[in-house]
Chains A and B, each alone.
Chain A
Amino acid sequence: GNSVTQMEGPVTLSEEAFLTINCTYTATGYPSLFWYVQYPGEGLQLLLKATKADDKGSNKGFEATYRKETTSFHLEKGSVQVSDSAVYLCALSDPGGTYKYIFGTGTRLKVLA
């Protein structure tokens, strides 16, 4: 079955450090890939997405590239801020319409001033 694997957290960085959160997936066919962000006490917000191989999603300085050859969708940001502290969740959906989004375990990011 389809699945998503994320790196274990928490990840603690100093402000302005470079961020990478790894995400790999297992899927039949060609899934769409998403990164969601969850701030403390809040719901999930879409951060970025990519719907086909080699697509790059980007938003608020974050970016991720859909890599079919390595089945990966790693999240990166060049310079993190304290306000980026949150839980980041990688997810996939089946474009055939399986009516299900499958999430990774989430990675908590803490950015120190």
Chain B
Amino acid sequence: DTAVSQTPKYLVTQMGNDKSIKCEQNLGHDTMYWYKQDSKKFLKIMFSYNNKELIINETVPNRFSPKSPDKAHLNLHINSLELGDSAVYFCASSQPQGNTEAFFGQGTRLTVV
């Protein structure tokens, strides 16, 4: 039973399109995250939510809009996709206390052509 699952695993789309990535966790965690991993494997936080409330928005363009319908879900919608958005996007969850680890999904490889 997958702890953090995100769909789709692969996404290939044209510039200018709008796409969504879905994430669900069954760990009962209060906090969820979106991270972006570039081609050099650098992992950078985009957003974090706690109990459905936005906590961190790390200077991400407005074209990216996260939505948390409930504590177990955090979806990422991207408008007007650009070539530079190509990356692997990871969803994660944790308890808000920083001494516990985050659990990551398998990632969504987004390719914008």
Q: Which residue of chain A lies nearest to B32 when distances are taken between CB atoms in the complex?
A: A99
Contact check, B48 vs A99: say whether CB atoms are below 8 A apart: yes
Which stretch (B12-20, B66-74, B77-85, B100-108) binds chain A?
B100-108
The number of residues on chain B lying at the interface, defined by a beta carbon within 8 Å of a beta carbon of chain A, is 28
Contact check, A38 vs B41: say whether CB atoms are below 8 A apart: yes
Q: In the assembled complex, which residues on chain A have CB atoms less than 8 Å from the CB atom of B56?
A: 98-100
Q: In the assembled complex, which residues on chain B have CB atoms less than 8 Å from the CB atom of A87?
A: 41
Which stretch (A11-19, A40-48, A75-83) binds chain B?
A40-48
Is B43 at the interface (CB under 8 A from chain A)? yes
Contact check, B107 vs A98: say whether CB atoms are below 8 A apart: no
The number of residues on chain A lying at the interface, defined by a beta carbon within 8 Å of a beta carbon of chain B, is 28
* Also in contact, A97 and B42, with CB within 8 A (given A43-B107, A44-B90): no
Contact check, B96 vs A99: say whether CB atoms are below 8 A apart: yes
Q: Which of B31, B100, B101, B102 has the most CB of A within 10 A?
A: B101
Give the contacting residue for A51; candidates B42, B55, B99, B104; CB below 8 A: B99
- Separation of A99 and B92 alpha carbons in the complex (Å): 11
Q: Which residue of chain B lies nearest to A106 when distances are taken between CB atoms in the complex?
A: B41
Q: Which of B55, B92, B100 has the most CB of A within 10 A?
A: B100
Q: Which residue of chain A lies nearest to B55 when distances are taken between CB atoms in the complex?
A: A99
Contact check, B96 vs A100: say whether CB atoms are below 8 A apart: no
* Also in contact, A96 and B98, with CB within 8 A (given A42-B106, A43-B106, A44-B104): yes
What are some 13 contacts across the A-B interface (CB < 8 A)? A34-B101, A43-B105, A43-B107, A44-B43, A44-B104, A87-B41, A98-B98, A99-B50, A100-B45, A101-B45, A101-B92, A103-B44, A106-B42
* Interface pairs A-B: 9 shortest CB-CB: A93-B98, A106-B41, A95-B98, A44-B104, A99-B48, A103-B43, A43-B106, A51-B99, A43-B104
